[in-house]
Chain A
């Protein structure tokens, strides 16, 4: 006898699957057998995720307390908190604040343009909406590296923007390798992550609620503020988290569009592993980044639970 889903018992009453008497013992045995099967079905993923995710995660934590020998190799003894002390050094703080500022700016700019954008798409007739949406999906699925590289071409000193500015009698533009270039790249790279959850929230909206508010003499603005905005808030929060987290840990964008003076958390961590070979410090930085990420995700779920 096979039963899937639901609480024990409830299905039996509505759909009797057998004429045999079902004793509590039989039912318990069936539940156990089902639990065993479920465990077996999940086993390959379980093993894989433990080996290639949980253990590596634990190793990063272990490494963050390790020391380096005279050659710079990490040795797993003489456990200490040196790496964590360095995390709070002013040099790191500057990089962190720069990353945080850029990630927050990216999130705010993305939200500012994406909300009216998603709102416009969501209020079109279904056919138009589908077409407009496909043109959001294309950049969303397109290769991130290539999309970032395109800005390197655009912003280059002999690129189109600079050429136009020179043709108009201006100076050659020095946009590339600045914080502005990184900001543009981040907004460009992560904007679809903002648009899609916003659209999902707005598309499901029942616009009759807005009409009702208008009928009750609410102004357009207060109808938006009191009806549309609260309903779409889960989309706003989801989109903001989805843009904020990858922006904070971004590596490809600053590596391609930023300069030596615009080091961000992502490339700082990478340099600890690939250049400086200070694995304990790099690990401590990674642990810090993951902690912030987890905190942001928890805020998201808390807020989601409240507004849902």
Chain B
């Protein structure tokens, strides 16, 4: 590895049409095209995907782990927001 490391990219893969892209991992690349190629060669060798997104890790705005309580806990005691009162039809996998 050189001292000057290439920027980090996050890789998102859509495994088949109709599903959404999911985070697969990250790679280093010098530019966007190289990132796309590296993602293809690293994460789709065994037919894992039909579409790839890459984005510079530095461009991602993430929630602060220290604020987890303020961010997420208020939703937990509001059960009326959760669709838990419906029966799931058999055979529905991606809901």
A and B: bona fide binding partners: no
Interface residues of A (CB under 8 A from B): none
Interface residues of B (CB under 8 A from A): none
